[in-house]
Amino acid sequence: MLDYCVIKGEIGAAIKAGRAVVALESTVISHGLPYPANIEAAKAMEATVRANGAVPATIAILDGRIRIGLEAEDFERLAAGGIRKVSRRDLPLVLAAGGDGATTVAATMIAARLAGISVFATGGIGGVHRGAETTLDISADLEELARTDVAVVCAGAKAILDLPKTLEYLETRGVPVVGYGTDNFPAFYTAQCNLPVDSRCDSADDVARILRAKWQLGLSGGAIIAVPIPEEAALDAEAIEQAIRLAVAEAEGQGVRGKELTPFLLSRLEQLTEGASLVANRALLLNNAAVAAQIAVAYATLRRETTLPRRPPGKRALY
């Protein structure tokens, strides 16, 4: 790990001291939101994490190194365009080439686990794409959730996906889906859909106890903490579904697939909703960051108060 990972001093000190740290991804900067909203949202997420008692750790690959924690100029660099979207399969390719990359949910989970960070906030996870029965387009995020011990706080899966199939896949792979203040799975731009979660929690302490039980039992893999978008920012469910269907049809017609599909669909949704999806996206990102920080604080407190051993950071990390 020494050759490939650099942990910012403040973050490394917090990890060593067993304090709360929240991982944040970088694809929201390079592929998720347009400029300058991308940089503004990423910095606002960091500020929200701090305001709720935890240390933010935005993760990216720069110059062939996994960077756990970024500087101000790094955000501009990631927002400049031409940055590769990096998931699990891409990590060795980009690192060996000394390149730059924006980390997806899967890659951010891997990096967080290497650093010893247990909680990660994002917008929405990837999942089973609509039409996957013929395309086999299933996000690597789901497999990462089944194998990497990081809790992912999100507004459910991105609404452009097939949500019932995504939940079925998660069940098969043994990933708990916990509704935070909800009995039903959030649908990203809307507060919920008619799909039940595995369990409901109404406090960060409740979530922390679930995470402790899971990992003390040696049950590898993460958990989804599904947080509904704030009610005042939610979009009309029927209208957004119509926009998604149109965007999906356009993507099929233009042959857009693979890594390019999600950025294409999100961009088209912003156009079709006249910017309303962008406003909603920012609201749920900040809400998720706040909840993730509260969970990270509760989990760090629980570790100090019990005999649960702290999982060490990856070997030979730079602090």
Of the candidates 36, 32, 46, 80, the one whose C-alpha atom is nearest the C-alpha of residue 280 is: 32
Per the CB < 8 A criterion, the answer to whether 189 and 207 are in contact is no
Per the CB < 8 A criterion, the answer to whether 29 and 123 are in contact is no
The tokens 């950025």 sit on which residue?
263
Q: Please confirm, yes or no, whether 25 is among the known catalytic residues.
A: yes
Q: Is 198 annotated as a binding residue?
A: no
Per the CB < 8 A criterion, the answer to whether 286 and 52 are in contact is no
By three-state DSSP, how is residue 119 classified?
strand
Q: Please confirm, yes or no, whether 171 is among the known catalytic residues.
A: no
Q: Is 94 annotated as a binding residue?
A: no
Per the CB < 8 A criterion, the answer to whether 21 and 57 are in contact is yes
Residue tagged active-site, from 8, 25, 46, 144: 25
Q: Is 90 annotated as a binding residue?
A: no
Q: Is 85 annotated as a binding residue?
A: yes
* Buried b or exposed e, range 211-241, using 16+ CB within 10 angstroms: bbebbeeeeebbbbbbbbbeeebbbeeeebb
Q: Is 105 annotated as a binding residue?
A: yes
Q: Is 140 annotated as a binding residue?
A: yes
Residue tagged active-site, from 8, 46, 158, 270: 158
> Which residues line the annotated binding site?
85, 105, 137, 139-141
Binding residues for substrate: 85, 105, 139-141
- Residues in binding site for Mn(2+): 137
Catalytic residues: 25, 158
